[in-house]
Amino acid sequence: GFPILIPSLADKLDLTQLLSTVDGIMLTGSYSNIEPHHYNGPTSKPNTKHDARRDETILPLITEAVEFGVPLLAICRGFQEMNVAYGGSIHQEVHHAKGMNDHRPDTKQNINVQYDFSHRVELTENGVLAKLTDEENPLVNSVHWQGINKLGKNLDIEAVAPDGLIEAFSVKNAKNFALGVQWHPEWKVMEIPFYKAILEAFGKTCFNRANTK
């Protein structure tokens, strides 16, 4: 197989044809944020980066992909998109939310420091992530300023940060792999067993789908 980029052309995409073609979907992170009207949130602060075309393309694609049985791994912005697609909402500034820690990186540091381990997460017992590692509280990176407020419907919490912020979830009773994580498991994936296990689990389900279509 080979990777393809899904263009942000919501009005021109045939979702059924697309989902019949691909063997898996990875929703990446981004410097942009979901427009707040998608979750009935307050207006963003000035100079907040948005990507309306991505919102229009990805939000309906998520639930269709899960229903279609296409493996889905959502990372960072993709994780937040997944929550909104299932009716959840977003903290636009986690560091200003009551009881929450500051999850932003120090942008004055180099990229290796910014994406280094930041905090541990507590995994849900017998959850999707817990079955991928022997660690009860694995270390993860933290390079986000927005985060989960209200959890979307039909989502099971898979991991929480020390301050209680939801950092990972899966879709309840999904037909296939459907996981979202707030951190970036693709960072130095070959060096970090927990991150590697996540990508391998996703890749395995994509491989299986490719061989059963």
Catalytic residues, which ones?
A: 76, 184, 186
Question: H/E/C letters for each residue in 47-78?
Answer: CCCECHHHHHHHHHHHHHHHHHCCCEEEECHH
Task: Give the Cα separation of 174 and 144 in Å (integer).
Answer: 27
Nearest to 143 by CA among 107, 169, 177: 107
Task: Give the Cα separation of 154 and 147 in Å (integer).
Answer: 18
Helix (H) or strand (E) holding 139: strand 139-140
List C-alpha distances in Å: 55 to 11, 29, 73.
12, 13, 17
Q: Which residues contact 98 (CB under 8 A, 6 or more apart)?
A: none
List C-alpha distances in Å: 189 to 35, 48, 96, 192.
30, 30, 31, 5
CB 75 within 8 A of CB 28: yes
